[in-house]
Amino acid sequence: MKKAILFDLDGTLVDTIEDIRCAINHTVKLTYNREISREECMSVVGRGLKNALIGALAFSGARYPEDEIDILYHELISFYKNNACVYSKPYDGITEFLKSMSQNGYALGVLSNKSDVLVQEIVEKLFSDINFTFIQGFCDKIPLKPDKAGVEIFAKLSGVPIEEVIYVGDSEVDGETIINAHLEKGILVTWGFRPREIIEKFEKQGIKLVNTIEELKDGVN
C-alpha cells in the first residue's frame, strides 16, 4: 500500500522567519516605513509573500496601489532569492525524520504559498539528499493554500487517493487546507510561526497537534 506525506515548508520543516524578515525589511525601508519584528513577521506570513508584505506595511499604516505593491513584491523576491538561506535551517530532527519516512516507503512532498523559485532554492540547499516526489511553491497555475489543488496534484503524482494523503503544517492556513481537501489525517506542529491558541481550534475537527518530532513520528504512523 502506497503512503504519502505532504509538508508545508516555513514553520514546519524549516525556520525561515529571519530570512523572510530581512527580505521584508529590506523592502519596507525603500518606502521609508519602519522595519518589523520577528513576532510581527510571524503574524503576517502564511498566505504568500505579497500578502505578508502588505501586512508588514500595514504596521506603519501604509497602503499602496496594486501596481506599486507589485514593484515592491518583485524587489522583495529578488533580495530574498539572493539571501534565501542565510539564517534558515531545518528544525532539529527534521532531516533525519524525512530520511526515515522515505526509507519506510513514504512519498514525500512540499507545498508552500511562498514563491516557487524560492521554495525550489531552499529545498535544494537544505534537503539536497531527500528524495521528494513533489516540490511546489506559489505560481500562476496553482492557487494558494488553503485551496486543495496542490494536494490533488501531489496525490496523483504519488499514486495515493487524496483522502489518504497525510498533511503536516503549522498554521491555520494548513488547517484549512486539510479540511478543504477532506484528508483523513492532518497534523499541525506547534513549533512553527503561530501561537498554539491560533491552531488548537482545529483539534475539534480531528486534526492532531504535535509538540515534538517524536510525536510527529507517532502521528504519521
Pair 77, 117: CB distance under 8 Å: yes
State how far the Cα of 21 lies from the Cα of 24, in Å rounded to an integer.
5
Task: Read off the pLDDT of residues 84-104 as tens digits, 9 standing for 90 and up.
Answer: 999 999 999 999 999 999 999
| Separation of CA 199 from chain center | 15
Task: Read off the pLDDT of residues 104-115 as tens digits, 9 standing for 90 and up.
Answer: 999 999 999 999
Better-scored residue on pLDDT, 158 or 47: 158
State how far the Cα of 160 lies from the Cα of 140, in Å rounded to an integer.
25
State how far the Cα of 99 lies from the Cα of 110, in Å rounded to an integer.
14
Q: Which residues contact 62 (CB under 8 A, 6 or more apart)?
A: 28, 31, 33
Query: Residue 54 has which C-alpha cell?
Result: 502588505
pLDDT score of 2 more than 90? no
Q: Is 0.85 topped by the overall pTM? A: yes
The C-alpha angle 129, 131, 134, rounded to 5 degrees, equals 130
Kind of pairing between the strands at 3-7 and 106-115: parallel
pLDDT score of 221 more than 90? no
**Length in residues, the chain:** 221
pLDDT score of 17 more than 80? yes
Task: Read off the pLDDT of residues 121-161 as tens digits, 9 standing for 90 and up.
Answer: 999 999 999 999 999 999 988 999 999 999 999 999 999 99
Q: Which amino acid is at 185?
A: K
Query: Which residue, among 91, 88, 104, 117, has the nearest Cα to 166 in the 3D structure?
Result: 104
Pair 158, 165: CB distance under 8 Å: yes
